[in-house]
Amino acid sequence: MKPIPLSLVTKISIIFSILGILLLILGIAIGSITGIIVIILGWIVLIGTIIFKVIFYRCPYCENFIGIPYHNHYCPHCGKRLD
């Protein structure tokens, strides 16, 4: 399987994180049974985003997990430059 570029993984993660947070806020604002369903959907989106990032945020050379809060330009495992 060809790895997804790290910049695309980051963009997708940011978009779905914002979507999940907006769903949580909307669910709280609605405040009824429908609001609870929207809150649950928001949590599902946020948890799915974390799982997506854990699966796909990997070094394109050694395929080891880089780490979610990782902001360096080099892989901590193989030392190659991350683009």
Outline where DSSP puts E strands in 17-74.
none
Residue 36 has a pLDDT of 92
Strand partners, 65: 58
Contact yes or no for 9/57 (Cβ under 8 A): yes
Residue 49 has a pLDDT of 93
Contact yes or no for 61/80 (Cβ under 8 A): yes
With the C-alpha atoms ordered 34, 37, 39, 45, is the resulting torsion angle positive or negative? negative
Instruction: Say what the pTM is.
Output: 0.77
Per-residue pLDDT of the chain in tens (83 residues, 90 and over written 9): 677 888 888 899 999 999 999 999 999 998 889 899 999 999 999 999 999 988 888 888 887 888 766 667 778 778 888 77
Residue 68 has a pLDDT of 65
